[in-house]
């Protein structure tokens, strides 16, 4: 369908059928048991970033890390002594998938990622709905950058993957001329369109922002028929420079979240600028909804060993026999590799910028 064209009658029929299913299930929202009472939360402090303030020894250890080869010891002994980028998880559009995004978040916790950077500071939940407005999310990214210094990561599954890509286009100024800063603590827009860049100390528009990493998992297929996603026609697989790196995951024979059943070039993401793009095909027949269900691997030492030793390839495959779903294991390994990599790279970027600023003084 060309941009701006109306959908055909078969497309409308499919959309209405899908809409009926969504209405029957209801919109996805975090489980109440995942909610943290106010007295038990540790919210982000609403103060602007004032530098990493690390010891010289720790700075040198971080700068010496190889982003492509981050060991569990590096996580425990180096990275956990420093801040981490906030991860904004966007789950899909039906209630049953929320628990799987929570499972993925708890997997990341178990692998060593700081809990504070996985949970929403306002209510303690692990993810946001894929229905969350893309302008709100872009404004939220800007607020986090201003207050935490490190640029966030965005990870979206299914409908959340669509929204992840839409946020990238919003931050690149492709969908709106101006976007307000959004405060995640008050859940309110602020009456401004710019933040103070924590490194340059210059004003920067929300529509000039970026994240250090983004990924979309199983984003395509029938969800294209939903009217909010029509704005991504011709843009879904084109990734702007509002992220340093992007990974797109597709599942073969995925009738829900893949184009042309996840086969061929239809599911390939490309950069429309300088962003580093990776396309990762996952084994055919994997369950679309359950691909994020990875917390259980924390109780399987052989799986965790394989995950920690994983190195990305163009066509990842299991090279040993494990008592686990291959697609889930490969996804967990690949995603954890990317997250560790860009945790290191973002810290190194900020450290080098701060050192350069100090030298200029």
pLDDT digits (tens, 9 = 90+) for 316-339: 998 899 999 999 999 999 999 999
3-class SS of residue 14: helix
pLDDT for position 303: 98
pLDDT for position 46: 63
| Entry pTM | 0.88
Please give the average per-residue pLDDT across 152-168, as a whole number.
Answer: 96
As a whole number of Å, the CA-based R_g of the chain is 20
pLDDT band at 21 (very low <50, low <70, confident <90, very high): very low
Please check the confidence at residue 262 and state whether its pLDDT lies above 90: no
Please check the confidence at residue 18 and state whether its pLDDT lies above 60: no
CB-based burial, 25-52: b 16+ in 10 Å, e otherwise: eeebebeeebeeeeeebebbeeeebeeb
DSSP 8-state code for residue 335: H
Let me know: does 10 contact 107? Beta carbons within 8 Å: no
DSSP 8-state code for residue 21: H
Which uninterrupted H or E stretch holds 305? helix 301-309
**Cα(137)–Cα(88) distance, integer angstroms:** 9
pLDDT for position 300: 98
What does the DSSP assignment read for 150-214? SPPEEEEETHHHHHHHHHHHHHTTSS-S----EETTTTEE-S-SEEE-TTT-SEEEGGG--BSEE
Domains, the chain, ordered by start: 56-360 (3.40.50.1820)
CA-nearest of 252, 10, 42 to 1 is 10
Please give the average per-residue pLDDT across 283-302, as a whole number.
Answer: 96
pLDDT digits (tens, 9 = 90+) for 296-307: 999 999 999 999
Please check the confidence at residue 359 and state whether its pLDDT lies above 70: yes
**Cα(258)–Cα(255) distance, integer angstroms:** 6
- Region of 299 (left: φ > 0; alpha: ψ -120 to 50; beta: rest) is alpha
pLDDT for position 257: 82
Encoded tokens for 214? 């983004």
Please give the average per-residue pLDDT across 161-180, as a whole number.
Answer: 96
């Amino acid at each position: 369908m060309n941009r701006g064209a109306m959908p055909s009658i078969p497309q409308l029929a499919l959309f209405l059928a899908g809409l009926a299913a969504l209405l029957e299930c209801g919109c996805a929202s975090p489980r109440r048991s995942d909610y943290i009472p106010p007295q038990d939360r540790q919210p982000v402090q609403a103060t602007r970033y004032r530098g990493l303030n690390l010891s010289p020894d720790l700075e040198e250890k971080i700068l010496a890390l190889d982003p492509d080869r981050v060991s569990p010891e590096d996580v425990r002994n180096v990275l956990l002594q420093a801040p981490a980028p906030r991860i904004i998880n966007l789950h899909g559009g039906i209630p049953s998938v929320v628990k799987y995004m929570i499972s993925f978040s708890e997997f990341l916790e178990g692998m060593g990622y700081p809990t504070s950077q996985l949970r929403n500071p306002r209510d303690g939940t692990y993810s946001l709905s894929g229905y969350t407005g893309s302008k709100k999310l872009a404004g939220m990214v800007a607020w986090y950058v201003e207050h935490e210094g490190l640029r966030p990561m965005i990870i979206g599954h299914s409908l959340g993957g669509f929204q992840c890509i839409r946020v990238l286009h919003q931050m690149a100024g492709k969908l709106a001329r101006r976007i307000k800063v959004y405060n995640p603590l008050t859940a309110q827009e602020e009456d401004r369109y710019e933040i103070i860049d924590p490194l340059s100390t210059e004003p920067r528009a929300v529509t000039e922002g970026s994240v250090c990493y983004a990924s979309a998992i199983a984003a395509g297929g029938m969800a294209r028929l939903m009217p909010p996603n029509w704005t991504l026609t011709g843009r879904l697989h084109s990734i702007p420079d509002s992220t340093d790196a992007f990974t797109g995951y597709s599942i073969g024979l995925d009738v829900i979240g893949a184009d042309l059943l996840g086969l061929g070039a239809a599911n390939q993401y490309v950069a429309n600028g300088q962003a580093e793009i990776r396309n990762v095909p996952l084994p055919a027949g994997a369950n679309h909804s359950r691909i994020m269900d990875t917390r259980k691997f924390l109780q399987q030492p052989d799986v965790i060993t394989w995950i920690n030793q994983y190195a990305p390839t163009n066509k990842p495959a299991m090279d040993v026999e494990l008592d686990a779903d291959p697609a889930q294991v490969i996804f967990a390994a690949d995603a954890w590799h990317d997250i560790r990599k860009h945790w290191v790279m973002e810290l190194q970027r900020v450290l080098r910028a701060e050192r350069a600023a100090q030298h200029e003084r």
